[in-house]
Amino acid sequence: MDISTKNTQAPPPAPQPSVAEQKRAARGATRPGDRIFLGLSRGSGILLLVIMAAIAVFLAYRAYLAISKDHGNFLTTFEWNTGAIPPVFGIAVLAFGTVVSSIIAMVIAVPIAVAIALFLTHYAPRRLSGPIAYVIDLLAAVPSIVYGLWGALILVPHLTGLFSWLNDYLGWTGILSWDGGPPRSLLTVGILLAIMILPIVTNVSREVFRQVPRMHEEAALALGATRWEVIRMAVLPFGRSGVISASMLGLGRALGETMAVATVLSPDFLIHGSLLNPGGGTFAQNIASKFNEATEYGRDALIASGLVLFVITLLVNGAARVIIARRKEYSGANA
Amino acid sequence: MKLQRMNRRALTLGALAVSGALALTACGSDDTGSKSSGGGSSASAGVANTSSIKCDNAKGQLLADGSSAQKNAIDAWTAAFSQACQGVQINYKGSGSGAGVTAFTQGQLAFAGSDSALKPEDVEASKKVCTGGGQGIDLPMVGGPIAVGYNLPGVDNLVLDATTLAKIFNSDIKTWDDPAIKKLNPNAKLPSTKISAFHRSDESGTTDNFTKYLKAAAPSVWGKYSGGKAWQAPGGQSAPQSAGVAQQVKQTAGAIGYFELSYAKDMTTAAIDTGASSPVKPSTDAASKAIADAKVVGTGKDLALKLNYTTKADGAYPMVLVTYEIVCDKGNKADTLPATKAFLGYIASTDGQSILTQNSYAPIPDAIISKVRTTIEGLS
């Protein structure tokens, strides 16, 4: 595999053109246009690093100001009271809520998105797949506050049926028991986030599935595979890293979603054993709802919580890169 | 050529449409204005107001920001004031008391609005902005009752006292047929529904004032919480902004929540048993009566109030909040000072205060507002 990639990337073995190319390349690098372009692109790259570093330093400094005066444990305190004397705040509930609601969203959204993408690329008649893809694109353009309003006015009242059903049949598990309060819980947030991240995961997955080399599919068909077997043996392995990337994009949106969560959730600073009981909170929701009335110190504390979200996002993206790197041999680059 | 003509025609059409819409909306607001003031005795309030405003050659733009609780009052005042003083533009953003005070101490505003009086550190910070040895002072301008709204079909005249209210909001009382509620409402048919107590999920001056009341009037239950803008008691549900809480209470059977009176339209509100001869329903008059019991605790020109939450005066509704306008006593910016004085002078005037009741706010009682007027005249 490796050898074959090297062969395709290396210049053709004929000696004359390679020498000519080298000369041209050497001369090209000294031309003013190339030098200017080199400078511009290098400058942009450095500028990006400087901006990122400046943001990180700013966040870290303000976070340090807040955390150094925090009388609770920043990581384990179940309270957010920056106005109290002495101030007490911690991110335990926010981290829990952010991660749990995003996981719920991924569990619901990714299988559905992959199914839609497969339907559009391999099952739907062409006349149908165009409009459906277009509608999904439109879903991505709906502002999140609109999702929030829809969630609060339509979704929440209609979830009581689902919640009581879950409580009747799965209530014994503890995490799906329900005390009958309004369904403004982490599960509600997860469902809403799932709908919100569906378009981006679907669209990227669809593009990836479309790139599957026709030869692979035809080869599988020639061996007598059914359409489902083609998908299982050719399409899915080829698209796996693409689907993972798509999911990460969706996860990024779910982790950072603000207004929709703030509208639908009934936030408090407790970790509830059940996903159906109202309560919990997320980083972005907490920042949005506390920022307006916060004092200078309160804002520093919120910035500290934002820094943690920043770190969580970095970790998630890093993990995704590792997973994708491990599966590189399946990716489209060397197919 | 043709295209250009088309464009011009489209432009004229657009301009016509816009100006027509403006004219229509102007008519609309006039109509509602006369209707709402026609309800009371002051049918000619609008005219009288404009004539009593002294512009004193005030010009320019007044930037202000702060408490969202008084935003509607400021909007009503601005409408009347800018009719009389065409040269002054007032821009009040209701981004919250904290944001207002911060922006004021950074010198960005002519005045700030706040639900709670300046803290010592805020006063210290204001000294940088108020040149010539001045400092920020609190001027009480708008009072408002905090209503407790509930959603309990068939129960119209719920009576609660401070201790019961505190126990409902910290989850000690969990159902509507609790003996403590029954005792206060012997004639009501209370269902066994679970109570969903709603509080604010954002930090809020309303929460601050509501819990200050609970702390003062029900210390045995609420004494252990430190208070402040963030909600602290366990349990219950939460929603963002007064509008969010009100909407959830309307939507949820068995719900109860607190918000400014103006959000309690089409909703039943609880009367408070204060120990007076009969329980008091939230109203602007009842709130003014309670504010009359307040003491001025600010020093110098500062007129910060200490409310008497345990008042037993007949007809006084004790759960009130007072919002302040914050200005420098000395050293206001020279270019905005005339406009600031003119506007604040108007809102503290009899006419200015009389607009408040139309918007579900409570006027500041005479004894206090007269001090405010003198202070405003002395601003420099």
Stretch A61-76: mean pLDDT? 91
Closest partner residue to A293 (CB to CB) among B202, B244, B248 is B202
pLDDT of residue B41: 38
Closest partner residue to A278 (CB to CB) among B99, B237, B251 is B237
Q: Chain A within 8 Å of B336 (Cβ-Cβ)? A: no
Q: Which of A153, A185, A186, A293 to mutate to test the interface with B (most CBs of B within 10 A)?
A: A293
User: Higher-confidence residue: B235 or A121?
Assistant: A121
With a CB cutoff of 8 Å and minimum separation 6, the contacts of A272 are A185, A186, A279, A280
The whole-angstrom separation of Cα B105 and Cα B156 is: 46
| Residue B270 to residues A250, B11, B156, B310, Cα–Cα distance (Å) | 46, 55, 8, 17
Residue range B360-374, pLDDT digits in tens: 899 999 999 999 999
pLDDT of residue B269: 94
Strand B271-272 relative to strand B111-114, pairing: unpaired
Residue range B18-47, pLDDT digits in tens: 454 444 444 433 333 333 333 333 333 444
- Mean of all residue pLDDT scores within chain B: 84
Tell me the shortest Cα–Cα distance from A256 to chain B, in angstroms.
18
| pLDDT at residue A243 greater than cutoff 90 | yes
Residue range B177-222, pLDDT digits in tens: 999 999 999 988 999 988 999 999 888 888 999 999 999 999 999 9
Interchain CB distance below 8 Å, B98 and A298: yes
Percent of chain A with pLDDT over 90: 49
Stretch B336-353: mean pLDDT? 91
pLDDT of residue B35: 36
| pLDDT at residue A57 greater than cutoff 60 | yes
Neighbours of A75 (CB within 10 A): 11
Stretch A41-62: mean pLDDT? 93
CATH top class, domain B2-142+324-377: alpha beta
Interchain CB distance below 8 Å, B238 and A268: yes
The whole-angstrom separation of Cα A144 and Cα A47 is: 31
Quick check: B284 and B40 in contact, CB under 8 A?
Answer: no
Nearest chain A alpha carbon to B118: A295
| pLDDT at residue B146 greater than cutoff 90 | yes
Residues of A in contact with B256 (CB under 8 A): none
Q: Chain A within 8 Å of B193 (Cβ-Cβ)? A: no
Please name which of A46, A29, A47 lies closest in space to residue A38, comparing C-alpha atoms.
A29
Percent of chain B with pLDDT over 70: 86
Stretch B239-251: mean pLDDT? 88
Residues of A in contact with B238 (CB under 8 A): 266-268
Q: What is the CA radius of gyration of chain A?
A: 25
**Which of A189-203, A269-283, B250-264 is the most confident on average?**
A189-203
The whole-angstrom separation of Cα B255 and Cα B167 is: 15
pLDDT of residue A98: 95
Cis-peptide into B191, omega within 30 deg: no
pLDDT of residue A6: 46
pLDDT of residue B13: 52
- Which residue intervals of chain B are DSSP H helices? 2-39, 45-52, 71-84, 97-105, 120-129, 162-169, 179-184, 205-217, 219-222, 241-251, 284-291, 337-348, 350-356, 366-377
The whole-angstrom separation of Cα A282 and Cα A121 is: 36
| pLDDT at residue B227 greater than cutoff 90 | no
| pLDDT at residue B163 greater than cutoff 60 | yes
Interchain CB distance below 8 Å, B203 and A268: no
Residues of A in contact with B230 (CB under 8 A): 80-83, 290
Tell the CATH topology of B146-289: D-Maltodextrin-Binding Protein; domain 2 (3.40.190)
Neighbours of A232 (CB within 10 A): 13
Percent of chain B with pLDDT over 90: 46
- Mean of all residue pLDDT scores within chain A: 86
pLDDT band of B305, cuts 50, 70, 90: very high
Quick check: A167 and A82 in contact, CB under 8 A?
Answer: no
Domain ranges of chain B: 2-142+324-377, 146-289
pLDDT of residue A31: 83
Interchain CB distance below 8 Å, A262 and B201: yes
Stretch B303-312: mean pLDDT? 91
| pLDDT at residue A30 greater than cutoff 50 | yes
Give this prediction's pTM. Answer: 0.77
The whole-angstrom separation of Cα B151 and Cα B170 is: 18
Domains B2-142+324-377 and B146-289 share a fold: yes
| pLDDT at residue B7 greater than cutoff 80 | no
**What number of residues does chain B have?**
380
Based on the number of CB atoms within 10 Å of its own CB, is B186 exposed (0-12), middle (13-18) or buried (19 or more)?
A: exposed
| pLDDT at residue A26 greater than cutoff 80 | no
Tell me the shortest Cα–Cα distance from A48 to chain B, in angstroms.
31
Residue range B147-159, pLDDT digits in tens: 999 999 989 889 9
Strand B237-239 relative to strand B305-306, pairing: unpaired
DSSP string, A251-262: HHHHHH--HHHH
Tell me the shortest Cα–Cα distance from A264 to chain B, in angstroms.
8
pLDDT of residue B9: 55
pLDDT band of A317, cuts 50, 70, 90: confident
Tell me the shortest Cα–Cα distance from B126 to chain A, in angstroms.
14
pLDDT of residue A28: 54
Closest partner residue to B202 (CB to CB) among A84, A184, A290 is A290
Interchain CB distance below 8 Å, B203 and A270: no
Tell me the shortest Cα–Cα distance from A266 to chain B, in angstroms.
5
Residues of B in contact with A149 (CB under 8 A): none
Residue range A171-189, pLDDT digits in tens: 888 889 888 778 899 999 9
pLDDT of residue B3: 47
Interchain CB distance below 8 Å, A293 and B205: yes
Q: Which helix (H) or strand (E) holds A144?
A: helix A144-150
Closest partner residue to B229 (CB to CB) among A182, A268, A293 is A293
Closest partner residue to A83 (CB to CB) among B96, B230, B238 is B230
Interchain CB distance below 8 Å, B95 and A292: yes
Stretch B67-88: mean pLDDT? 89
| pLDDT at residue A10 greater than cutoff 80 | no
Residues of B in contact with A294 (CB under 8 A): 98, 203
pLDDT band of B169, cuts 50, 70, 90: very high
Neighbours of B330 (CB within 10 A): 15
Residue range A247-297, pLDDT digits in tens: 998 999 999 999 899 989 988 888 888 999 888 899 999 998 888 778 888
Residues of A in contact with B100 (CB under 8 A): none
| pLDDT at residue A8 greater than cutoff 60 | no
pLDDT of residue B24: 45
Based on the number of CB atoms within 10 Å of its own CB, is A270 exposed (0-12), middle (13-18) or buried (19 or more)?
A: middle
